[in-house]
Amino acid sequence: MVSNTTLSAAAYSALSGITMGDLLKTAAIGFLLSVVFGGSLLAMAGPKNAPHTREVAQLPGPERPWFGWLLGNAVALQHHRDSLIHPDWAAAGATGRYLSLMALERIYTFDPAAVRYIFNKVDEFERPAEARDVLGRTMGRGSLVAVNGAQHRRERKVMDPAFSTTAIKDMVPAIHDKGAEFVSLLARFVNEDDLEQYATPIPPKPQDRVPGKRKVDVLGLMGRLTTDVIGKVFFAHDFECLTTPEGSDLMHGFDKLIDATHKIAPIFEIQNSIPLLDKIVR
Q: How far apart are CA 214 and CA 236, in angstroms?
A: 34
* pLDDT given at position 270: 64
Task: Please name the amino acid found at residue 53.
Answer: T
pTM: 0.63
* pLDDT given at position 180: 95
* pLDDT given at position 176: 94
DSSP H helical ranges for 140-164 = 149-159
* pLDDT given at position 108: 87
| Residue 168 located in a structural domain | yes
Residue 109: which residues within 8 A CB-CB, separation 6 or more?
94, 95, 96, 115, 118
Residues of the chain with pLDDT under 70: 1-23, 25-26, 28, 30-52, 81-84, 130, 261-282
| Residue 43 located in a structural domain | no
| Residue 180 located in a structural domain | yes
Q: How far apart are CA 59 and CA 202, in angstroms?
A: 29
DSSP 164: S
Apex CA 211: angle with CA 209 and CA 215, to 5°?
45
Per the structure, the count of domains in the chain is: 1
Structural domain harbouring 218: 164-247
DSSP reduced 3-state for 182: helix
| Residue 154 located in a structural domain | no
* pLDDT given at position 266: 64
| Residue 175 located in a structural domain | yes
| Residue 191 located in a structural domain | yes
| Residue 83 located in a structural domain | no
- Confirm if 97 and 105 have CB atoms less than 8 A apart: yes
Cβ atoms within 10 Å of 231's Cβ, excluding its own? 19
DSSP 243: T
Closest by CA to 220, choosing from 252, 194, 191, 193, is 252
* pLDDT given at position 23: 63
Do you know the residue count of the chain? Answer: 282
Please report, to the nearest 10 degrees, the dihedral formed by the alpha carbons of residues 167, 172, 175, 181 taken in order. -160
* pLDDT given at position 7: 43
